[in-house]
Amino acid sequence: MECTGQNSPLGNFTTLVEFILIGFSDVPNLQGFLFGLIFIIYVFILMGNSLIIMITKVDPSLQTPMYFFLRNFSFLEICYVSVTVPRLLTDLCRHYGKIPFLACAIQMFFFQIFVDTECFILTAMAYDRYVAICNPLLYPVIMNNRLSVQLAVACWTIAIPIHIGFISVVFSSPFCGCNQLNHFFCDSPPVIQLICGDAVMVEMLSYVLAALVGSILSFLILGSYVKIISTILKLPSATGRAKAFSTCCSHLTVVTLFFLSGIIVYMKPKSSHSTGVDKFLSLFYTIFIPMLNPIIYCLRNKDVMVALEKFLQKCIVL
């Protein structure tokens, strides 16, 4: 079914059975290359994050709240990419994509849940670093096992009721005859564009939710790091300052990449670039950023590197 222009409020209302994912069918010469590249990256993400989960679980020196949250973060990254990448790889193989209406709603729901959960976990990790550096003597008391588990449970569950409501609003809206989704997965902006008539209220709800979550959590992280940097600069020795900063360098790098790329993808003006550029930006946000996270945490964290070396040595001996 061809779609031309915007949906008209007077258009025919139909019960959509499926969406056609245009994906990267408009660049057929790149599809084989994209399949190979994305497949390699996906395998790397699965292996890299699984390795982090294993070494932070078995190494006695990494049994701290910091690495407990890192373990949650790595598992989340596996879930996050698995929502979109397997279907994308399948669609690249067959050169077209179709997704049932219900499956589209489910994919959007889980994708947005995992995006928000990632924001919450990064915020919890910032709080952990704040307590460790600004209140080191009270760190074992404040960041005990009970609080760590409670924070992790809150991170994984707090976004669920929010997005149940949002997805219900989006997919209970009327859709016209057009079912072509100019994207490679069911993300909220392209789906909302297919809503019949005036979708301003749904768009505003989407922006408000993104802005609220993003701004509140980014301010909490920023506030934590203002305190952290201020405390680090007051340390008497350069060695102490370097050691303190190294414990949060990986996290700060991941936070910067995640929030900046998210702002570029979701908070940009509608007419700032073409849909083709939007798709490649989303590809960067959903696949390339998760690929960098295991590298950052392994290369920028000495404790993880030491634990990884010991783990690999044991595997070689076995």
Supply the pLDDT for residue 220. Answer: 93
pLDDT greater at residue 312 or residue 105: 105
Q: What average pLDDT does this structure show over 275-279?
A: 70
Q: What is the mean pLDDT of residues 211-217?
A: 87
Higher pLDDT residue, 107 or 212?
Answer: 107
Q: Which is more confidently placed, 4 or 233?
A: 233
Note if the pTM is more than 0.75.
yes
Residue 212 C-alpha from the chain's centroid: 16
| For residues 158-174, average pLDDT | 90
Percent of the chain surpassing pLDDT 70:
90
Output the pLDDT for position 293. 85
Q: Look at residue 9 and tell me whether its pLDDT is greater than 60.
A: no
End-to-end CA distance of the chain: 58
Q: Does residue 100 carry a pLDDT above 70?
A: yes
Of 316 and 177, the structure prediction assigns the larger pLDDT to: 316
Closest alpha carbon to 266 in 195, 188, 318: 188
Give the CATH number of domain 18-317.
Answer: 1.20.1070.10
CB atoms under 10 Å from CB of 230, counted, come to 11
| Residue 221, pLDDT score | 93
- Residue 196 pLDDT level (bands cut at 50, 70, 90): confident
Report pLDDT for 267: 66
pLDDT-derived band of residue 188, with 50, 70 and 90 as boundaries? confident
Average pLDDT over residues 237-245: 81
| pLDDT digits 0-9 by tens, 33-87 | 989 999 999 999 999 999 899 888 888 888 899 999 999 999 999 999 999 999 9
pLDDT attached to residue 270: 58
Q: How far apart are CA 84 and CA 68, in angstroms?
A: 26
Q: Which sequence spans correspond to the domains of the chain?
A: 18-317
Write phi, then psi, for 19 (nearest 5 degrees).
-110, 145
* 190 and 99 Cβ atoms separated by less than 8 Å: no
C-alpha 257/C-alpha 290 separation (Å) is: 10
